[in-house]
């Protein structure tokens, strides 16, 4: 009987997960809603990747300029 209880509990958990998945926008029946959902996730992923990459780029750019221009950029004064 204990195994039967576990099976029933697992079936209930699967049903709850299927319910959550059916309410997600990327599993909607409408093509436009799915496309907008994927675009939103893509935009978020781009922001998450873009910000650290720009910080790393700025660090390397400042290191590069300090190596080749240690006195700063000459303004010609």
Would you state the pLDDT for residue 72? 60
What does the pLDDT read at residue 1? 63
Q: What pLDDT, in 10s, does the model give residues 18-34?
A: 888 777 788 778 888 88
Residue 64 inside a domain? The answer is: yes
pLDDT-derived band at 39, boundaries 50, 70, 90: confident
Q: What is the DSSP string of 20-59?
A: HHHTSGGG-S-HHHHHHHHHHHHHHHHHHHHHHHHHHHHH
Q: 46: which 2 tokens? A: 């781009």
pLDDT classification of 11: cutoffs 50, 70, 90: very high
Check residue 28 and give left, alpha or beta (phi > 0: left; psi -120 to 50: alpha).
beta
The pTM for the full model equals 0.48
Per-residue pLDDT tens over the stretch 50-65? 999 999 999 998 888 7
**Would residue 77 count as lying in a domain?**
no
Cα–Cα dist 29/32, whole Å: 9
**Residue 76: inside a domain, yes or no?**
no
- Give the structural domain span for 13: 2-68
Q: How many domains does the chain have?
A: 1
Three-state SS for 66? Answer: helix
């Amino acid at each position: 009987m204990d195994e039967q209880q576990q099976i029933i509990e697992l079936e209930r958990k699967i049903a709850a997960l299927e319910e959550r998945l059916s309410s997600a926008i990327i599993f909607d029946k409408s093509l436009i809603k799915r496309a907008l959902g994927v675009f939103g996730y893509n935009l978020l992923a781009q922001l998450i990747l873009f910000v650290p990459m720009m910080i790393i780029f700025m660090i390397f750019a400042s290191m590069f300029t300090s190596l080749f221009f240690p006195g700063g950029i000459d303004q010609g004064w």
